[in-house]
Amino acid sequence: MHRRADASVALLLVVIAATVGILVSRQQPVVPPPDDPPGPAPRTLLVQLRDSRLLAQGSVIMGVEKDSRLANLWWTGQWWIDQIGVQEVSAAELGRKPVPYLVDTVQNQLGVRVDDAWVLDRLAFAGLVDAVSGVRLEIPQVTVYVTDDDTTAVLPAGMRTLAGAQAADYVLDASLVDEQARLQRFQAVWDQIVRRFPTDPDKARTLVVSLGALSKATMPAEQLAVLLADAHDLRITGDYDEVQVALDGQNAVRVRPAQGVRRAYALDPFATARRLSRVFDGFAGPDEPVARVASVVIRSEAVPEIRSQLSTRSWRSAWGGRAITSSTTVTVDPSVPAAQVVTLEQALGITPGKDPVPLAEARVAVAADAADPVGS
């Protein structure tokens, strides 16, 4: 009898366990994994070359989509990129600014988030060129340039291999007044660096680390080396496109104090937006909405006040150069959520109109007579 009772109890326990298992499985259904797990997110790296005066003489944003494409965005030092009080800030002057300011200012202007930055001085840039065994360039005509020690050097026309110091001096040439020509030199050298960058992880990391404190990156050396190796692969396979920031030739200012460039031009948002949509489609933008602020009087005290008010309502701002308007107006893009429109109106005390705004979520045009530009 005892054996039968024990067997019955055991059978009952098995039935109970099976029933509980069925109930639990019904309450917690198994979710199958996605068929195509998401790949690595696209990354952007802002590279800046600074001269001995700390002026930025070469700038590019590399957008890297692993196993997909490499996008490059270039600009010259003549970009009138910001206004701080009574001082115009050209893109050349950005070399003298802290890296966080550089990153925020550029991404607010372009609507493309800058994930990291890599700043190199002349010696670091020369060391980078030497580390990839020099760069081979097509020199279109006999070129005379000024070296770092203020002597004159000559490059004969034709295909030439430049060592690090030569390449750095060729780009940073103090006698060069054509900023578009400087950009073309930087483009040619940087393209060769990317093409020759090592893809072996240990060699790539060793190269980056060897530059030491002369180069400053906002990401660890290992990650920087991997990103540059990925950029190399995409450049070699031809999955590559590039574009240049478009500047408005009618929206200009004489730069004071001198910043390596004498005249700077505000960004042309319409032309630049068209170019970026073709090359940087799919890359993330700033986390917060951006208002582009332009003013009839560029040194008006109203401008920093308005930008400060925008900041208190979680709106970023970008400098838009000169404006033509008889009254201070606010235009918001139709795609902006209603809640953000409300915060914009609260910040400025002006009811915004609606119209497409390129490279920003709103545009603020500050009139010449703006004694009380911000609503109270």
Residue 36 is predicted with a pLDDT of 54
Residue 282 is predicted with a pLDDT of 87
Give Cβ neighbours of residue 341 (< 8 Å, ≥ 6 apart): 332, 352
Which pTM was predicted?
0.86
* Residues 362 and 332: beta-carbon distance below 8 Å: yes
Distance from first CA to last CA of the chain, Å, rounded?
Answer: 92
Neighbours of 3 (CB within 10 A): 7
Low-confidence ranges of the chain (pLDDT < 70): 1-39, 370-376
Residue 276 is predicted with a pLDDT of 97
Classify the C-alpha dihedral 184-182-319-54 as positive or negative: positive
